[in-house]
Amino acid sequence: MKNYLLKCEINGEKFEGLIDPNMRLIDFLRDEIGLKGTKEGCGEGECGACMVLLDGRAVNSCLVMAFSVSGKEIITIEGIDKTKYGKKLKKSFKKNAAVQCGFCTPGFIITAAAFLEEKPDATEEEIKEALSGNICRCTGYDMIIKAVNEAKK
Ligand code: FES
Ligand code: FES
């Protein structure tokens, strides 16, 4: 039942409305707001496909309840250009053919955007470590790490 009044900011726009308090953040974003760029892979906090920024921190939106983001700022892949490294990361992923399957890409870019803001001088090893919560089972991490490394310049 929609009986919780949620007030938050999503990609720079204010949201205020009643939601089901049992709803996860990923379902709220995809099904209520229509932001389908956030993907559900495992649904258990293991794959990173569902990453969004919550007050600048990358979180698994499948593990966060929507009501708990009250008063917070959410950035999804649709709003990634608002972050310092968003545009650079998108350009670099394209240039380095790091999109690969495409399904996991929003999660990788969200994680990388948060990480580079925290550590703009990160080494390739540190980037690899930072992306360890984002699972790729197709092509591997080489091009993704290269793309993130280039985006920091
Ligand atoms: S869908 Fe959330 S971590 Fe996999
Ligand atoms: S990028 Fe999606 S499985 Fe490799």
Give the CATH number of the domain where residue 10 resides. Answer: 3.10.20.30
> Residue 56: pLDDT above 90?
yes
Number of domains composing the chain: 2
Mean pLDDT of the chain: 98
Q: Which atom of ligand 2 is nearest to the CA of 137?
A: 3
| Mean pLDDT of the 3-11 span | 98
In order of 24, 33, 101, 131, 138, the CA distances from 67 in angstroms are 8, 14, 32, 27, 34
**Which DSSP category does 96 fall into?**
T
Question: With a 6 A CB cut-off, is 97 part of the ligand 2 pocket?
Answer: no
The confidence band for 153, taking pLDDT boundaries of 50, 70 and 90, is confident
pLDDT for 72 equals 98
Q: What does the pLDDT average to over 98-109?
A: 98
Statement: residue 95 has pLDDT above 90? yes
Q: What is the CATH number of the domain that holds 136?
A: 1.10.150.120
Per residue in 107-139, is it b (16+ CB within 10 Å) or e — as a string?
bbbbbbbbbbeeeeebeeeebbebbeebbbeee
Same domain, 112 and 89: yes
Residues 87 and 76 both lie in one domain: no
Q: By the 8 A CB rule, do 79 and 90 touch? A: no
Alpha-carbon distance of 151 to 109, in angstroms, equals 11
How many angstroms separate the CA atoms of 104 and 98, rounded? 10
Q: Ligand 2 atom closest to Cα of 103?
A: 2
Q: Is the pTM of this model over 0.75?
A: yes
Instruction: Please check whether residue 35 is in contact with residue 78, taking contact to mean a CB–CB distance below 8 angstroms.
Output: yes
Distance CA 11, CA 78 (A): 7
CA of 77 to the centre of ligand 2 (A): 16
| Same domain assignment for residues 96 and 65 | no
Same domain, 101 and 76: no
Average pLDDT for 88-117: 98
Last residue of a domain, one of 26, 50, 80: 80
Tell me: do 70 and 116 sit in the same domain. no
38 and 62 in a single domain? The answer is yes
Question: 8: Cβ below 6 Å to ligand 1?
Answer: no
DSSP state of 30: I
- Provide the domain limits for residue 49: 4-80
pLDDT tens digits, residue range 23-46? Answer: 999 999 999 999 999 999 999 999
The residue from 24, 57, 80 where one domain ends is: 80
Structure tokens that stand for 131 in this block: 């992306």
Tokens of 144: 């993704």
Ligand lying closest to the C-alpha of residue 52: 1
Do residues 131 and 67 both lie within one domain? Answer: no
Span 50-65, mean pLDDT? 98
Domain boundary among 56, 80, 104: 80
* pLDDT tens digit sequence for 105-130: 999 999 999 999 999 999 999 999 99
For residue 133, give the ligand nearest its CA: 1
Whether residue 8 sits in one domain with residue 75: yes
% of the chain with per-residue pLDDT over 90: 99
